[in-house]
Copies of this chain bind each other. A is one copy, B any other.
Amino acid sequence: MAAHAIDELKATGTGFTVERATVPGVKDLPVACKRLIEERGCDIVIALGMPGAEPIDKMCAHEASQGLIHVQLMTNRHIVEVFVHMDEAGDDRGLALLAERRAREHAVNAYDLLFRPGRLAKMAGTGQRQGFADAGSIDASRQGTGGAAAAHGGGGEGSGDAGAGGGGDTGGH
């Protein structure tokens, strides 16, 4: 998956270098990502993994995801998680194609987060679905309803400051 992600990154833009680290399993990803950020100066990380189909594997993926979110909060850097669960496709061929598509699409997301944040805002609500055919937007809705609503992991927008606060609020601006 990493090869596809790196290939897509290089096809998408320039002005960056790529560091790479490999770990035995998805539960080893959080600290590896933290070290890429803290020890190798990475501005964003793409964490790729392919958890198995058993309940224990789902739990490992959950623990890894919690750790990846924790790392982001410790470093204020984005980590784009690209997990492909082995039961997401019917056969190995489908799984490989899904893995490639998802890795490529998330590589573009990572690029956009760093260099083209405006593009993500424009895509919000159009139902982009990493690794699958796009789901399209919700017809009844004139504007997006969460953007990546059909994305694996759901869509999300972090709408900003609802108020600069008043008086001496140091957080205001």
- On A, residues with C-beta under 8 Å from B are 1-6, 9, 13, 15-52, 56-74, 76-81, 83-86, 92-93, 95-97, 99-100, 106-107, 109-111, 113-115, 117, 120-121, 123-124, 128, 130, 138-141, 143-166, 169, 171-173
Contact = CB atoms under 8 A, between A and B. Distances in A.
Main secondary structure of the interface of A (DSSP, over half): mixed
Given A66-B63, A66-B69, A40 B161 contact: yes
16 contacts: A1-B157, A1-B159, A17-B164, A22-B124, A23-B78, A24-B106, A24-B109, A25-B152, A26-B154, A29-B158, A32-B158, A40-B173, A50-B145, A57-B154, A67-B70, A86-B149
B24 A96 contact: no
